[in-house]
């Protein structure tokens, strides 16, 4: 700022910001202003000018800032900016905001917690992506009249803040919001830079990179009272950095040649000397108050400063007035709160205090905050800087802070567990607690996504623990096994457990049973090593029955069922599944919370036996238990299981919603392979929706992702989904790629479930290429993996054989086998596959001249396609109907409006008033593809061809 009050040297930036602000209320989605530059270059000053001009424009303006010493406080900039505003919003509009949104938002914004205290939801899912989604929904609520959200100093942002910001940039609200952020690029977290880079690729970011002032601009800044020679000397020493220039001018220090050369570090020696000179001009007690305030925070509470400085309130107020007059500190918008002129002023002030004073001040601050009832998270920063080894109360505070943060900010939790471990006494009596805290820290790192650090910590703990069975050792092995599996390294898990088994002497201990379970799981995941997995699971089952542990027994039975399915001993698989299902059905959720993966194995067993409704039921129960017991870090796996079941059952929109949730969880997931797995399901969903270009793109990405991380488990399914999308687009050239990639002509390692799909796909491809002998060969292979007890798999085999017969001209037998396939799919509840089989049967009847048999089948296909949201299948059936002149297709279903589901009616209402699909998607927090799918159902049920026609027939909402 110049001596006349204007902002010097930033005219171009201000003009661009004025232009942006002028159009805020008409913009359709969030826009980002990115301000970057070195320390002191004027980022905060430009943000302050933006805030002032936004206020003048009548916009809602909120601001927060990350702190140099408070970077373990989750969501700090967002809380500082939005907490008060959201508290008022929720209080006034509480009935209009979904209760679960407020409950989840309360995990970020403390002001919301009081609003749900008397009416908490039955369960609050605490997965981070749900918390982020709720926060973004709440932010969008504030933006009805235009919102400017300012977040400064994000190079110091905590991991939770960066995660929330990344979510906001991935799911930009369709609302008039300007997000203004400032940071130092060289110090910024990689995750922050990545999120901003992705937003820039979408055209959302307006970047302002601030450069040093010119000599003329520097002269304007220092003013006419400074001689040209001194102005030139100040400019050369400052390198054109405005804050550095101002600090040198304020201090009045004499510059030497050594001082020249610009800003080379965060606080160069000359700048530190200048700032210390400013501080030294204050009285001694005022300096002490400034040092105490620097320890409290920035901004700081005046009451806490008094405690930290051990001075009366009245004296502190006087000294703060002195510091304010010197422009070392400034008032804030809040009462009894102040802040330093610049973070560098705070930095130098803090380090000007003797180390002994800083330790004592932090101890006094921690006690003052505790008396005020502040949460452990707010106190932990000060305890960490003041507690010594053996301080049990300090350890308790740090552990409490870790637990408070585990769900919403696990990286902060990992840090606080580490700080607690450093302050445990060396007394051997603390060894067990040390092991417990070490395990908790490893688990926190795993939840945060840093699986390799989690593995290293657990490995180190194993090395320290005695080579005998103990709860701590068992938990470390279980964690390492899970980590290996989530890193797509099941071989490592297998070798670890095999080594550990050599140290377990008690032949009937439950510890041994748990290790056997882990071994069985690893053997299955490594290469479908059924014999080894069956032996391990059988031994675990026997031990569990001896001890009466039904949870372990159910888990073992589930693994044995999978072994039976993989080995194609389906009667055995069914018996073990029924045993496992009966066991978990008889257990309380609280019992299963000890090992919710018991339900996972039961759900997978159900899927392997084509019992998709059962899979959905058990995976849903596991999901609820994992959420309520704080084990949501495996959420991506659970959501993926639900996605598969929902998709096969023809509930494609629900499957898409589950897949999108799984992708959000995968963005925070510790698993290297889960992104590929979720992309595979999204590929199938796009394919079945009829968006083949998108399906092909998603399939390609899923294959590349699996190859990138070396995930041999997700790669086969990714290849199958990708190939299916290419086949559907008429590209049969990838048949040889599929056969070679999965060794389908040799000894395929694919599970029989995926083999059946692959063989049916290859049959269709060879029919499409006119190679009937090859088609017959693949149809025979499909027969080989079918079984009467597995209806969907049998449906694939029958459909494959029907294709060959129809292509050979045997239309009657082809139609009969298509009907057999349809019956099989109906028994499995596989509605999309059922529709495909009915379409194939109708085509066979038409080829045979039996139009009367084709017509009802085609109508059934249309109805199934509408129910599933399968646009391509619907359109293929319509083509056949029009070809024979049959009525059907896009005609109103009986009942008209009454036939619309709640979601269809909601979307139709918004479309009828003129909202675009993107706007509807943002308002309802769903994907645009889901909106379009629902609209296609609406058009079909109401018999209208377009949005305009929909608006014409939609009831008048004003009446």
Is residue 193 in some structural domain? yes
pLDDT, tens only, 123-164: 334 567 788 888 888 888 888 778 999 999 999 898 889 989
Q: Are residues 204 and 221 in the same domain?
A: no
Domain termination site, one of 226, 251, 279: 279
Domain termination site, one of 623, 649, 671: 623
CATH at 451: 1.25.40.10
d(CA 293, CA 339): 9
pLDDT, tens only, 477-496: 888 887 777 676 777 778 88
DSSP of 397-457 = HHHHHHHHHTTT-HHHHHHHHHHHHHHS-S-GGGHHHHHHHHHHHHHHHHHHT-HHHHHHH
User: For the chain, what percent of residues have pLDDT higher than 70?
Assistant: 87
Backbone angles phi, psi at 63, to 5 degrees: -145, 145
- Widest pairwise Cα distance in the chain: 104
Residues 6 or more apart whose CB falls under 8 angstroms from that of 358 comprise 291, 295, 350, 385
**pTM (2 d.p.):** 0.74
Q: Are residues 593 and 638 in the same domain?
A: no
d(CA 133, CA 122): 19
Spatial contact of 275 and 344, defined as CB atoms under 8 Å apart: yes
CATH at 134: 3.40.50.300
- Across 50-59, 255-264, 590-599, 930-939, least confident range: 255-264
Spatial contact of 447 and 463, defined as CB atoms under 8 Å apart: no
- Computed on alpha carbons and rounded to an integer, the radius of gyration of the chain in Å comes to 33
Q: Where do runs of H (alpha helix) occur along 829-901?
A: 831-847, 851-868, 871-884
Half-sphere exposure of 501 (CA within 13 A, CB side): 20
Count the Cβ atoms, other than its own, within 10 Å of residue 433: 17
pLDDT, tens only, 313-360: 889 999 999 999 998 999 987 778 899 988 888 989 999 999 999 999
Is residue 398 in some structural domain? no
List the domain range (segments joined by +) for residue 164.
11-209
Q: Are residues 54 and 157 in the same domain?
A: yes
CATH at 912: 1.10.10.10
pLDDT of 423 above 70: yes
pLDDT, greater one: 66 or 749: 66
Strand 329-331 with 337-340, pairing: antiparallel
pLDDT band at 254 (very low <50, low <70, confident <90, very high): low
User: For the chain, what percent of residues have pLDDT higher than 90?
Assistant: 35
Helix (H, G, I), strand (E, B) or coil at 530: helix
Q: Are residues 205 and 263 in the same domain?
A: no
pLDDT at 686: 92
Q: Are residues 106 and 192 in the same domain?
A: yes
Kind plus residue range of the DSSP H or E element containing 301: strand 300-301
Residues 6 or more apart whose CB falls under 8 angstroms from that of 113 comprise 106
Count the Cβ atoms, other than its own, within 10 Å of residue 345: 22
- Calculate mean pLDDT across residues 171-177: 86
pLDDT band at 710 (very low <50, low <70, confident <90, very high): low
pLDDT, greater one: 789 or 823: 823
Q: Are residues 60 and 35 in the same domain?
A: yes
Helix (H, G, I), strand (E, B) or coil at 345: helix
Q: Which of 701, 763, 751, 700 is nearest to 726 (CA)?
A: 700
Kind plus residue range of the DSSP H or E element containing 32: strand 31-36
CATH at 681: 1.25.40
Count the Cβ atoms, other than its own, within 10 Å of residue 740: 11
Task: For the chain, give the mean pLDDT.
Answer: 84
Is residue 333 in some structural domain? no
Q: Are residues 66 and 201 in the same domain?
A: yes
pLDDT at 622: 84
Q: Is the dihedral of CA 543, 546, 550, 556 positive or negative?
A: positive
pLDDT of 632 above 70: no
pLDDT at 958: 45
Is residue 932 in some structural domain? yes
Q: Are residues 181 and 61 in the same domain?
A: yes
Residues 6 or more apart whose CB falls under 8 angstroms from that of 293 comprise 300, 305, 308, 320, 329, 338, 340, 349
Residue 749 CA from chain centroid, whole number:
32
pLDDT at 369: 93
Q: Is the dihedral of CA 733, 737, 740, 742 positive or negative?
A: negative
Exposure string of 622-659, with b = 16+ CB inside 10 Å and e = fewer, is bbbbbbbeebbbbbbbbbbbbbbbbbbbbbbbbbbbbb
pLDDT at 957: 47
Q: Are residues 194 and 48 in the same domain?
A: yes
Spatial contact of 532 and 549, defined as CB atoms under 8 Å apart: no
Is residue 204 in some structural domain? yes
- Calculate mean pLDDT across residues 272-289: 89
pLDDT of 637 above 60: yes
3-state helix/strand/coil string of 55-114: HHCCCEEEEEECCCCCCCCCCHHHHHHHHHHHHHHHHHHHHHCCHHHHHHHCCCCHHHHH
pLDDT band at 8 (very low <50, low <70, confident <90, very high): confident
Is residue 426 in some structural domain? no
- Calculate mean pLDDT across residues 652-681: 77
Cα separations in angstroms, 846 against 66, 835, 843, 850: 69, 16, 5, 6
pLDDT at 353: 93
d(CA 200, CA 216): 33
Q: Are residues 594 and 506 in the same domain?
A: yes
- Angle between the N-to-C axes of helices 635-648 and 612-628, in degrees from 0 to 180, rounded to the nearest 10: 160
- Calculate mean pLDDT across residues 660-670: 70
Backbone angles phi, psi at 372, to 5 degrees: -80, -5
pLDDT band at 892 (very low <50, low <70, confident <90, very high): very low
Is residue 788 in some structural domain? no
Domain count, the chain: 5
pLDDT at 165: 92
d(CA 171, CA 165): 10
Spatial contact of 582 and 588, defined as CB atoms under 8 Å apart: no
pLDDT band at 507 (very low <50, low <70, confident <90, very high): low
pLDDT at 410: 85
Q: Are residues 594 and 647 in the same domain?
A: no
pLDDT of 783 above 70: yes
Domain termination site, one of 177, 209, 241: 209
Spatial contact of 176 and 149, defined as CB atoms under 8 Å apart: no
Q: Are residues 141 and 266 in the same domain?
A: no
Strand order in the sheet with 329-331: 300-301, 337-340, 329-331
Exposure string of 910-939, with b = 16+ CB inside 10 Å and e = fewer, is bbbeebebebbbbbebbbebbbbbbbbbbb
pLDDT of 290 above 70: yes
Is residue 903 in some structural domain? yes
């Amino acid at each position: 700022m110049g001596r006349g009050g204007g902002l010097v040297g930033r005219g171009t930036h201000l003009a661009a910001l004025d232009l942006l602000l002028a159009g805020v209320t008409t913009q359709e989605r969030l826009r980002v202003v990115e301000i970057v530059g070195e320390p002191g270059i004027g980022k905060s000053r430009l943000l302050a000018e933006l805030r002032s001009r936004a206020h003048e424009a009548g916009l809602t303006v909120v601001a927060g800032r990350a702190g140099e010493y408070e970077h373990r406080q989750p969501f700090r900039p967002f809380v500082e900016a939005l907490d008060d505003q959201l508290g008022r919003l929720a209080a006034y509009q509480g009935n209009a905001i979904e209760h679960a949104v407020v409950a989840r938002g309360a995990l970020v914004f403390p002001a919301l917690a009081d609003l749900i205290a008397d009416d908490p939801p039955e369960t609050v899912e605490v997965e981070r992506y749900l918390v982020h989604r709720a926060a973004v929904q709440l932010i969008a609520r504030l933006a009805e009249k235009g919102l400017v959200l300012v977040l400064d100093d994000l190079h110091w942002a905590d991991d939770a803040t960066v995660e929330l910001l990344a979510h906001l940039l991935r799911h930009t609200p369709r609302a008039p919001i300007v997000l203004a952020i400032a940071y130092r690029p060289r110090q910024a977290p990689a995750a922050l830079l990545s999120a901003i880079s992705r937003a820039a690729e979408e055209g959302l970011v307006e970047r302002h990179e601030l450069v040093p002032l010119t000599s003329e601009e520097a002269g304007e800044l220092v003013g006419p009272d400074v001689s040209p020679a001194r102005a030139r000397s100040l400019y050369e020493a400052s390198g054109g950095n405005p804050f550095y220039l101002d600090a040198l001018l304020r201090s009045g220090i004499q510059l030497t040649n050594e001082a020249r050369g610009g800003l080379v570090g965060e606080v160069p020696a000359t700048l530190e000397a200048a700032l210390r000179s400013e501080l030294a001009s204050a009285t001694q007690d005022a300096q002490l108050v400034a040092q105490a305030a620097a320890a409290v925070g920035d901004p700081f509470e005046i009451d806490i400063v008094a405690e930290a400085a051990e001075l009366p309130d009245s004296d502190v107020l006087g000294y703060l007035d002195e510091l304010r007059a010197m422009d070392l500190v400034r008032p804030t918008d809040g009462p009894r709160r102040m802040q330093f002129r610049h973070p560098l002023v705070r930095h130098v002030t803090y380090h000007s205090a003797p180390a002994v004073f800083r330790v004592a001040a932090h101890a006094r601050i921690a006690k003052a905050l505790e008396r005020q009832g502040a949460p452990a998270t707010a106190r932990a920063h000060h305890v960490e800087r003041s507690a010594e080894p053996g301080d049990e109360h300090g350890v308790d505070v740090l552990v409490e802070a870790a637990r408070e943060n585990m769900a919403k900010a696990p990286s902060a939790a990992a840090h606080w567990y580490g700080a607690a471990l450093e302050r445990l006494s060396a007394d051997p009596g603390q060894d067990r607690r040390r092991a417990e805290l070490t395990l908790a820290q490893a688990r926190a790192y795993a939840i945060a996504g840093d699986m390799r650090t989690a593995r290293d910590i657990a490995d180190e703990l194993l090395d320290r623990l005695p080579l005998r069975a103990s709860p701590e050792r068992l938990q470390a092995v279980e964690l390492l096994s899970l980590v290996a599996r989530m890193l797509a390294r099941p071989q490592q898990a297998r070798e670890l457990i095999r080594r550990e088994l050599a140290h377990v002497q008690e032949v009937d201990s439950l510890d041994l049973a748990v290790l056997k379970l882990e071994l069985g799981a690893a053997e299955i995941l490594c290469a479908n090593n059924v014999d080894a997995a069956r032996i391990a699971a059988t031994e675990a089952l026997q031990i569990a029955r001896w001890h009466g542990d039904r949870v372990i027994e159910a888990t073992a039975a589930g693994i044995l069922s999978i072994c039976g399915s993989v080995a194609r001993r389906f009667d055995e698989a069914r018996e073990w599944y029924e045993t496992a299902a009966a066991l978990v059905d008889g257990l309380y959720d609280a019992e299963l919370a000890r090992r919710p993966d018991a339900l996972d194995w039961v759900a997978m067993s159900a899927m392997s036996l084509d019992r998709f409704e059962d899979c959905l039921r058990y995976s849903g129960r596991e999901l609820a238990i994992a959420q309520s017991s704080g084990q949501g870090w495996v959420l991506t796996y659970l959501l993926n299981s639900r996605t598969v079941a929902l998709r096969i059952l023809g509930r494609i929109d629900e499957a898409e919603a589950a897949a999108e949730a799984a992708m959000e969880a995968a963005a925070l997931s510790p698993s290297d392979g889960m992104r590929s797995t979720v992309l595979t399901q999204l590929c199938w969903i796009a394919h079945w929706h009829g968006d083949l270009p998108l399906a092909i793109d998603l399939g390609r990405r899923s294959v590349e992702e699996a190859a990138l991380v070396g995930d041999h488990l997700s790669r086969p399914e990714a290849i199958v989904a990708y190939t299916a999308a290419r086949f559907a687009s008429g590209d049969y050239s990838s048949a040889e790629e599929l056969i070679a990639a999965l060794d389908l002509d040799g000894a395929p390692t694919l599970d029989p479930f995926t083999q059946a799909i692959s063989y049916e796909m290859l049959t269709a491809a060879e029919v499409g290429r006119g190679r009937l002998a090859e088609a017959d060969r693949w149809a025979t292979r499909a027969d080989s993996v079918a079984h009467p007890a597995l209806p969907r798999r049998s449906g694939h085999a029958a459909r494959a054989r029907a294709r060959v017969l129809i292509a050979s001209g045997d239309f009657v037998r082809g139609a009969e086998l298509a009907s057999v396939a349809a019956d099989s799919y109906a028994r499995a509840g596989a509605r999309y596959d059922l529709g495909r089989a009915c379409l194939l049967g109708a085509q066979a009847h038409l080829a045979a001249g039996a139009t009367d048999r084709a017509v009802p089948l085609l109508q059934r296909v249309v109805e199934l396609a509408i129910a599933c949201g399968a646009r391509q299948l619907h359109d293929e059936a319509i083509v056949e109907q029009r070809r024979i002149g049959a009525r059907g297709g896009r005609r109103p279903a009986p009942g008209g409006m009454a036939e619309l589901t709640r979601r269809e009616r909601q979307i139709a209402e918004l479309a009828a008033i003129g909202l675009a699909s993107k706007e509807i998607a943002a308002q309802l927090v769903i994907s645009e593809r889901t909106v379009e799918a629902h609209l296609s159902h609406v058009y079909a049920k109401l018999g209208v061809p377009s949005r305009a026609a929909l608006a014409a027939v939609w009831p008048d909402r004003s009446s």
